[in-house]
Amino acid sequence: MKWHILTGEYPPASGGVGDYTAVLASALTDAGDSVDVWVGGSAQPAISGRYGVHALPDTFGPGSRRALDAAWGAAPGVVLLQYVPNAIGRRGMNVGFCRWLLDARRRGRDVRVMFHEPYFYFTVRRPWRNVAAVIQRLMAMLLMRAAVLPYYSSDNWHAYLRPYGATKEAVVLPIPSTIPGDPGAEHVREFRARFSPGAAPVIGHFGTFGEHVTDELRHLLPSLLQQHPAVSVVLIGRNSERFKQELAAQMPSTTDRVHATGELPPLQVAAALKACDLLVQPYPDGVTALRTSVMAGLRNGVATISTDGALTEAVWRETRAVVLAPRGRTGALVAEIRRLLDDPGARTAQAERGREAYLRHFSIEQTVARLRSAAPAAVPV
């Protein structure tokens, strides 16, 4: 198959969708397909020798559309948009581009849309965003009509997009880990010695330490450190050093038991994860298939505890890939941490269950298989 992948993010610029696009393009190439990635915006993307990577002249404006028309005419194939409303230009309100894709479908292009996010929520805290929320619902409706086949990053998007044309034919594509697995025992030992020179249990958290997740951690970590004086905590990822400073101000006596790695290359992230006895990944809306931070731990076989919330899909309960505690129940999270620390057999079983669930439900191989199994011909609408 020939793929034209459209994205508003791509390495070296940071962003989960950009990293996902690079992993996807590489995996499709490994499967024998031909891939061109088209990156909207002014940033110069990293160049891959294995597939084409092209910087568009603007963020899916008129210049981009002319370039894409020419490319698709020269090399027809599947057009796959990695859709995040705020990443396709015009401050998340690029209605013109969505209409143009609908027109491309009408002209016979095989257009598909991967909905990473559907639209802004309505809010009373930031009323100005409600204008964008309305416009993004219009964009979703246009893209639903444009897509020969829509894809969702989460089962949850069925309900969110149903009023705007969603159908049962939509396919859920798992979001795999963008962090590699099996980083090597030597690298793991180096991180373990750094985090726990006295062989204390190590509890890790991996992420970018955004506002909503750090709110959860501010409640959890002080309680954990107070109740379990032998435990060390390691914060892995971008902004972790800043959050460590916040914790130090909150609990000065625990400073030597909290470590922060800062942003690391992917292979070192994998080593840092495997150096942990457990990962704790609390989210205010619950663990979901969108959380690549959770996927990284599962892929590397680390037992993981997370939260069950409004957006948690059924697959998490069915597979028991992670230990689920009710959202907002700090005591329940701490109790599950203690249970697994005290029972190495249960901890090993949980790690194996998580890794197996990752391979069967969330891995990039699953994504590629689902993409390549559906090749409908584009027809006018």
**Longest C-alpha distance within the chain, in Å?**
67
For residues 219 and 115, state if they share a domain. no
Per-residue pLDDT, 305:
98
Residue 381 inside a domain? The answer is no
Beta-carbon contacts of 53 under 8 Å, excluding residues fewer than 6 positions away, are: 10, 25, 36, 37, 39, 45, 46, 47
Residue ranges making up the domain that contains 164:
2-176+364-373
Residue 277 inside a domain? The answer is yes
Residue 287 inside a domain? The answer is yes
Average pLDDT score over the chain? 93
pLDDT band at 268 (very low <50, low <70, confident <90, very high): very high
Residue 288 inside a domain? The answer is yes
Residue 218 inside a domain? The answer is yes
For residues 205 and 348, state if they share a domain. yes
C-alpha distances (whole Å) from 57 to each of 64, 213, 258, 363 are 6, 36, 45, 33
Burial of 73 (0-12, 13-18, 19+ CB in 10 A): exposed
For residues 124 and 253, state if they share a domain. no
CATH of the domain at 88: 3.40.50.2000
* 271: helix, strand or coil: helix
User: Residue 69 corresponds to which tokens in the numbers above?
Assistant: 């028309």
Per-residue pLDDT, 251:
87
Q: How far apart are the first and last CA of the chain?
A: 23
Per-residue pLDDT, 206:
98
In this structure, the number of other CB atoms found within 10 A of the CB of residue 377 comes to: 7
- The number of folded domains in the chain is 2
Within its chain, how far is the Cα of 287 from the centroid? 11
Give ∠ CA 281-158-320 in degrees, rounded to 5: 35
Long-range pairs for 126-132 at CB < 8 Å and ≥24 separation? 131/93, 132/85, 132/91, 132/92, 132/93
| Position 188 pLDDT exceeds 90 | yes
For residues 156 and 193, state if they share a domain. no
User: Residue 354 corresponds to which tokens in the numbers above?
Assistant: 């998580």
Per-residue pLDDT, 340:
97
C-alpha distances (whole Å) from 148 to each of 25, 372, 377 are 20, 14, 8
Per-residue pLDDT, 173:
94
Within its chain, how far is the Cα of 315 from the centroid? 16
Amino acid present at 363: S
Per-residue pLDDT, 40:
94
Q: How far apart are CA 340 and CA 277, in angstroms?
A: 9
Q: Which residue has the higher pLDDT, 352 or 374?
A: 352
pLDDT band at 375 (very low <50, low <70, confident <90, very high): low
pLDDT band at 379 (very low <50, low <70, confident <90, very high): very low
C-alpha distances (whole Å) from 214 to each of 182, 205, 209, 210, 211 are 28, 10, 6, 6, 5
pLDDT band at 255 (very low <50, low <70, confident <90, very high): confident
For residues 244 and 149, state if they share a domain. no
For residues 166 and 194, state if they share a domain. no
Residue 380 inside a domain? The answer is no
Q: How far apart are CA 256 and CA 258, in angstroms?
A: 6
Long-range pairs for 243-252 at CB < 8 Å and ≥24 separation? 243/209, 243/214, 243/217, 246/214, 246/218, 247/218, 247/221, 247/222, 250/218, 250/222, 251/222, 251/225
Per-residue pLDDT, 47:
84
Per-residue pLDDT, 344:
96
Q: Which of 179-183, 239-243, 255-259 has the highest mean pLDDT?
A: 239-243
| Position 378 pLDDT exceeds 60 | no
| Position 114 pLDDT exceeds 80 | yes
Look-up of token digits 């922060």:
260
What are the tens digits of pLDDT across the range 82-104? Answer: 999 999 999 999 999 999 999 99
Per-residue pLDDT, 328:
85
pLDDT band at 262 (very low <50, low <70, confident <90, very high): very high
For residues 190 and 172, state if they share a domain. no
For residues 140 and 43, state if they share a domain. yes
* 133: helix, strand or coil: helix
Residue 379 inside a domain? The answer is no
For residues 83 and 106, state if they share a domain. yes
Residue 319 inside a domain? The answer is yes
In this structure, the number of other CB atoms found within 10 A of the CB of residue 246 comes to: 13
Give which of 280, 282, 296 is closest to 210, Cα–Cα.
Answer: 282
Proportion of the chain above pLDDT 70, given as a percent: 97
For residues 66 and 196, state if they share a domain. no
For residues 136 and 42, state if they share a domain. yes
* 86: helix, strand or coil: helix
Q: How far apart are CA 16 and CA 201, in angstroms?
A: 30
What are the tens digits of pLDDT across the range 326-335? Answer: 988 999 999 9
DSSP letters along 283-319, please? -TT---TT-HHHHHHHHTT--EEEEE-TT--HHHHHH
Q: How far apart are CA 110 and CA 289, in angstroms?
A: 26
| Position 312 pLDDT exceeds 80 | yes
Give the strand pairing for 110-115 and 323-326: unpaired
For residues 267 and 160, state if they share a domain. no
DSSP letters along 201-264, please? -EEEEES---HHHHHHHHHHHHHHHHH-TT-EEEEESTTHHHHHHHHHHH-GGGGGGEEE--S-
Burial of 256 (0-12, 13-18, 19+ CB in 10 A): exposed
pLDDT band at 50 (very low <50, low <70, confident <90, very high): very high
